[in-house]
Structure 1
Amino acid sequence: MTTGERGGSIELVGVRKAFGPKVVLDHIDLKVTPGESLVVIGGSGTGKSVMLKSVLGILPIDAGTIRLDGVDLAAASRAERTELRNRIGMLFQGGALFDSLPVWRNITFGLTQGRATNAKAMHAKAVELLAKVGLDAPVADLKPSELSGGMQKRVALARAIAAEPEIIFFDEPTTGLDPIRADTINRLIRGLVTDLGVTAVTITHDMASVRRIADRVAMLKDGRIHWEGKVADLENSGNDYVDRFVHGRAEDGETG
C-alpha cells in the first residue's frame, strides 16, 4: 500500500471551546491532509489536549466545525460517527490500560469489542504488535501493574495501532521513555505515515520527536494557532516565541 491510500483528512474551522469564562480554543482553523504527520506544540494550558479531545468527540465544541474526511461531526448521524470512530486510533498520555486484563487482552480489546473470543488468534496478534513497539512476547501475559511506565506506554501504542486505523492521535507518545525507546516509538510513528499513509496528529513537548516525525508543525498559544509551517522551517521560523520554545529558552510559565 502506498503513501496516502489510507489516511483521512481533518479540518477545524472557527473552533471555539470555553470552560466558563476561560476560553481555551479561540476560533481555531487547522487542516491535516491524508497521510500527513502534524505535530502540535505549545506550553501547558494552551489547549492542545482540549483540541485533540474535541476532534475525537470527547468534548463538545461551543462554535465552529470539525470535519473528518469532509463529514461534519456535529451534523453526522450516530452511524456515521461510529464509522468514523472505528477508523481512528488513540494513544492517551496516561496509557489508560485496563488493570484487570492481561496485556494481550488490553491490546486486542478494540478488535474483540471486549469479548473473550478467539483467544489464540488474539494472543498471537498481541505478540506481533508488541514486537513492533520493542517488547518481548512474555509481556503479553503480564498485567499492566507489572510493567514500568515506559512499558505501559508502549503497550498502549500497540493497542492504538491494533485495528490498523487510518487516523491516529498521539498524546505525548515518548514521555517517560529513555532515548532509545523513544526513538523506537518515533520510528514507528514515522513508518505508519511514510509506509502506510496513516494520518497522524501528535501532541508533544519532545523536540527530538517533533523533528523525527513531523511533516508540519502547529504552535498553539493563547487558544490560537500562533505559528504553522513545515518542520524544515521550524528552526528559522522568524517567530520569537517559537524560537524560544524550540530552543528551550521560553520564559517562565510558557512551558510545562
Structure 2
Amino acid sequence: MSDNHKIVLEGVSKAFGPNHVLDGVNLEIERGESMAIIGQSGSGKSVTLKCILGLIKPDSGAIRVDGEDLLSMRSRDLARVRAKFGMLFQGSALFDSLPIWRNVTFALTQGRQRETAKMRRIATENLERVGLGSNVLDLRPSELSGGMQKRVALARAIAPRPEIIFFDEPTTGLDPIRADVINDLIVELVEDLGVTALTITHDMASARKIAHRVAMLYQGKIIWRGPRDRLYDSGNPYVDQFVQGRAEGPIR
C-alpha cells in the first residue's frame, strides 16, 4: 500500500438481510485529496460513509486510515483515529437548543460549558473562515437561513482541525446559487487546511467542483473512478447515463 494513502477500503461488503448494499467496495483516497462518491439513492453511498465512521460494521473487508485497520481495533485506538475525523451532516444537524458558538465548539467541549471566553474566540475564528461574523454567535440555528446553517455546520466540522472531513450531500436543500457558494467554501477550506476530504453526493455540479477525483458506486461496487474532468467523458455507459440524468441506458 502506498504511504500516500490516507483512507483505503478493501473488499468492503455489507448486507442487511437479503439486501447486499455493499459488495466488495475497493477505494483508495490519497493524503490531501478530495474524493467524491456519486451514485443513485440506495446505491450504498451512505452505508460506505457509515462504515468508515464506524457507525455500521461491515460483514467483511478492511478499512484502513493511515495504514491502521479500523475493523480490528480496540475501542481506545478507534477513538484515537476517529479524533482525526470532521463531519458535515446532510441536514447540517445543528443543536437547536444551543447558541451558534456552542454548536461550533461542540466537538471541543462535548457540549459541556467550559472555558467560555476561549470557546467563543475559537467559534469566532472558525465562523470567519466560512464568511460569518461574530453577530451570529448568540443566535439559535432556527434564526439562520439554510445557507447560513450550512456555513455554521462547516465551521463546526473544521473547528477541531481534523485531518479528514466527510461531507454528506453538502448542497442538499440549497438553491443552485447558495449551493455553489458552499462548494466554493469547501474547496477553499480543503486547500487552506490541507485536509483529506470524502464527499458523497448526487449533485454533479458539486462533485465536479469540489473533488479531485470521482468514483461511482453502482449495485454495491465501485464501477468507475477518474479525475473530475473525465466525469462527462468517462467512456462508461453507467456513468454517462447517471451524470446526464437520462432515463434510457443500462441503469434501470
Same fold, judged at TM 0.5 (above): yes
The answer on whether the counterparts of 2:37 and 2:199 sit within 8 Å (CA) in structure 1 is: yes
Structure showing greater relative contact order (alpha-carbon pairs closer than 8 Å, 6 or more residues apart): 1
Alignment partners' CA distance in 2, 1:83 and 1:192: 23
The alpha carbon displacement at 1:177 in A equals 2.4
Match of 1:225 in 2: 222
1:109–1:251 distance in 2 versus 1, CA, 3 Å: farther
Alignment partners' CA distance in 1, 2:125 and 2:6: 28
Answer yes or no: is 1:155 the counterpart of 2:149: no
Alignment partners' CA distance in 1, 2:248 and 2:60: 32
Deviations 1:5-60 (A, max 9, x none): xx971111110011111010001111101111000101100000000000000111
Give the alignment partner of residue 45 of structure 2, picking from 43, 48, 51.
48
Amino acid paired to 1:11: V
Alignment of 1:78-227 (within 5 A): 78-227=75-224
Give the alignment partner of residue 239 of structure 1, picking from 221, 232, 236.
236
The answer on whether the counterparts of 2:5 and 2:28 sit within 8 Å (CA) in structure 1 is: no
Secondary structure at 1:232 match in 2: helix
Alignment partners' CA distance in 2, 1:28 and 1:39: 14
1:195–1:127 distance in 2 versus 1, CA, 3 Å: closer
Alignment partners' CA distance in 1, 2:178 and 2:91: 17
Alignment partners' CA distance in 2, 1:111 and 1:168: 16
Match of 1:67 in 2: 64
The answer on whether the counterparts of 1:37 and 1:201 sit within 8 Å (CA) in structure 2 is: yes
Alignment partners' CA distance in 1, 2:162 and 2:30: 15
Unaligned runs of at least 5 residues, structure 1:
1-6
The answer on whether the counterparts of 2:100 and 2:136 sit within 8 Å (CA) in structure 1 is: yes
What TM-score, normalized by structure 1, do the two folds share? Answer: 0.91
Secondary structure at 1:106 match in 2: helix
Unaligned runs of at least 5 residues, structure 2:
none
The alpha carbon displacement at 1:147 in A equals 2.3
Secondary structure at 1:17 match in 2: strand
Secondary structure at 1:117 match in 2: coil
Question: In percent, how many aligned pairs have the same letter?
Answer: 62
Amino acid paired to 1:113: Q
Give the aligned length.
Answer: 248
Secondary structure at 2:103 match in 1: helix
